[in-house]
Structure 1
C-alpha cells in the first residue's frame, strides 16, 4: 500500500495487520454499510457474517441489504433465509416513557451524529447536510436529523422495556432467520449510564427472547 493515502478526511499512513488466530475456525463479522454486490459476494464466499447498524435502518435501506445479503449467500451455495448470518445493531435507551427516553438520549444522539456523520456512516444525512455540519455558523439552525426521526424509523430503540420488546419481536417476525441483535449507546454517553442501561436491558428485555445461539470458537 502506498504511503499517505487519503481516507475519510485525513491521510492514512499506517495499517496494522492482525495475526492469524491460533484456534480455527473462528467466526468473522463485518459491518455492512454500502452493500455492493461485489462486497457481499466476497463475504458470502468466505462465510463472513454481516452487522447492520441502525444508520442503515434509518435510511430505509435495511430490506434491500438483507435481501441482497441473502441472495449473495445463496449464489455462493450457502442456502440462507432472510436474516441468516446477520446481526442488527441498535442504539437504545430505556425509560418509563418514550418521551422521557428521547429527551434524555437526544443529546447523546447529537454527539454521535457529529462523530459519524462526516464519515458518511449515517445514511439519513445528505452530502449537503454533512457539509453544513462542518460550518459552526450554519449547523445550529440546519435541518439535521434528530433522535425523534431515528426512533420513528426504528434505528434507535427508546422507551419502556415492553415497547422495545415489541419492536424487536416485529423484527424477529420480519426476518425469521435472524438470531442476533447488538445494542449499544451513542458516543459520549457516560459510562455509568451505559452500565445501568445494559443491566436493565439484560433484566427487562432479554428474558423475552429464549432462543439458543450456538457457542463460537474463541480466537486466541
Structure 2
C-alpha cells in the first residue's frame, strides 16, 4: 500500500453560521467572509503540514484545484507545488491532482508549468487532469456541455506538447496555436505520470483505462460501495482493452483520523469531520451537476452516489458506516484500510488527514500517528485476487 498526504486547504475560519443566509460555501458565498490576515496564516500553516508529512515518510504530498469557494483555497495548485519543491525531502513526490483543463483558457500554460515542476523536482512530479466539478463551471462561466470535448482536446494538446518535437501547429475545435514548442521539455520521459481523480463517471473510467494511456484512476468523494464498483469497472475496462490493470493504477482519496484509542479518535474528529461534510461540502445538486456536464447514464449513477454525501445533515457515524470516513485507533484504521484494499483492489491511498475545522495541533498529531503506527503495518500490503463477487 502506497501513502500520500492530501490537503484541500479550506478556509477553516469560515463563520459556521454562514449557511443560515447562504446555500453553499461555493460560487456565491460573498468573499467578505474571507479575512486576509487569517487566510495568510492558514496558508503558512497548511504548507507546514504538507512539509511535515513529507518529512515523516509519506511517498508524496498532494494538492488540488478549486475556484471561488471556502472549501479549498487552491485556485493555482502549481504555485503551492512550487513552494513545496525546495523544502520537502528529495525522496518525496508532489502530486498536483489536478488541473481542471476545460475551465482554463490556455492548456499550453498547464503544459509549461508542469514541465517546470518536473524539472525542478528532477522527475518527482505526478500530474493530474480533471474536468473540474460542476461548481467550477458556474464560477468561471464555462459551458458545461463542452466539458468533455474541451477536456479531451486540452489533454491531447498537453501530451503532444510534452512528447512531440517542436515547433508544430495545433488547430483544434477550441484551441489554436501556430507554434507549439515547449521550453523547458519535461524531465520524465515520455512525460510525467498522469493520475485522473474522479467522482466515478463512466466516461472518465473509460478514458483513464484506455490501453493507450493506462492512467492511474483515483476515486474521490464516494462511499465504499461506489469505490468497489468503480475499481471493478476500471479492471473490466482494462480487460476490454486487452490488458490486466495493476493495483498501482487504482487509488482512493479518503478522509482519515487516527488517535490513541477509538474513543479518543471519534471525540476529537467528530465536530471537524461534520463541519467538513455539512458546512464546507454543502452544495445544491444543480450546482454540483449542471445540465450537460455529464452523460445521462453517468448522471444517474453520480446522483445516487452523491445522495449519501450531500443530502441532509450528515453525522460522523453515518460517514463511518458509509465508508466516506475512517476513524479510530491505529489498529482499527489498519484493519479498515486492509479490508477496503482487499475488497477494492487498489494500492494507492490519498489520505486526507486534515478536514474542515480540524486544528493544527490535531492535524499534526494525526499525521504523526498515521505515519508512525499505520503506514509501516500496511506498506507491504498488496491486494490479492479480486473476485467479482467481492466487488458486487
Given that 2:275 and 2:356 are in contact with CA atoms closer than 8 Å, whether structure 1 keeps it comes out as yes
Q: Specify which of 364, 367, 371 is matched with residue 195 of structure 1.
A: 364
Given the alignment of the two structures, is residue 125 of structure 1 paired with residue 307 of structure 2, yes or no?
yes
Q: Is the 8 A contact 1:125 1:144 kept in 2?
A: no
Unaligned runs of 5+ in 2: 1-101, 106-133, 143-149, 163-185, 290-301, 383-392
Q: Which has the higher contact order (CA 8 A, sep 6+)?
A: 1
Determine the structure 1 residue equivalent to 2:169. none
Question: What is aligned with 1:182?
Answer: 350
Q: CA RMSD in A?
A: 3.5
Q: Give the whole-Å Cα distance in 1 for the aligned partners of 2:266 and 2:214.
A: 38
Name the SS of the counterpart of 2:253 in structure 1. Answer: strand
Structure 1 residue runs without a partner (length 5+) = 130-142, 214-220
Which residue of 307, 311, 323 maps to 1:154?
Answer: 323
Deviation at 1:71, TM superposition (A): 1.1
CA distance in 2, matches of 1:63, 1:183: 17
Aligned to 2:243: 78
> In 2, distance between residues paired with 1:207 and 1:40?
31
TM-score of the superposition, structure 1-length normalised? 0.72
Give 1:87 deviation, angstroms: 0.9
Once residues 240 and 229 of structure 2 are traced to their aligned partners in structure 1, the CA distance between those partners, rounded to angstroms, is: 16
**2:218 alignment partner in structure 1:** 51
Q: How does 1:1-220 map to 2 (within 5 A)?
A: 7=136, 9-12=138-141, 20=162, 21-25=186-190, 26-36=192-202, 38-45=203-210, 46-53=213-220, 55-57=221-223, 60-80=225-245, 83-113=247-277, 114-118=279-283, 120=288, 123-125=305-307, 129=311, 143-175=312-344, 177-184=345-352, 185-211=354-380
Does structure 1 conserve the Cα–Cα contact (< 8 Å) formed by 2:251 and 2:348?
Answer: yes
Separation in structure 1 between the aligned mates of residue 315 and residue 195 of structure 2, nearest angstrom: 29
Residue 135 of structure 1 is matched in structure 2 by none
Matched-pair contact (CA < 8 Å) for 1:117–1:125? no
Q: SS at 1:187's partner residue? A: coil
- Say which structure is richer in helix: 2
4+ residue runs of structure 1 moved beyond 3 angstroms? Answer: 1-9, 15-22, 119-129
**Deviation, structure 1 residue 203:** 0.6
**Secondary structure, counterpart of 1:205 in structure 2:** helix
Contact 2:200–2:219 (CA under 8 A) maintained in structure 1: no
Q: Between Structure 1 and Structure 2, how many residues are aligned?
A: 194
**SS of alignment partner, residue 218 of structure 2:** strand
Distance 1:63 1:3 in 2: 32
Matched-pair contact (CA < 8 Å) for 1:70–1:84: no
SS at match of 2:255: strand
Aligned residues of 2:209 and 2:238 also touching (Cα < 8 A):
yes
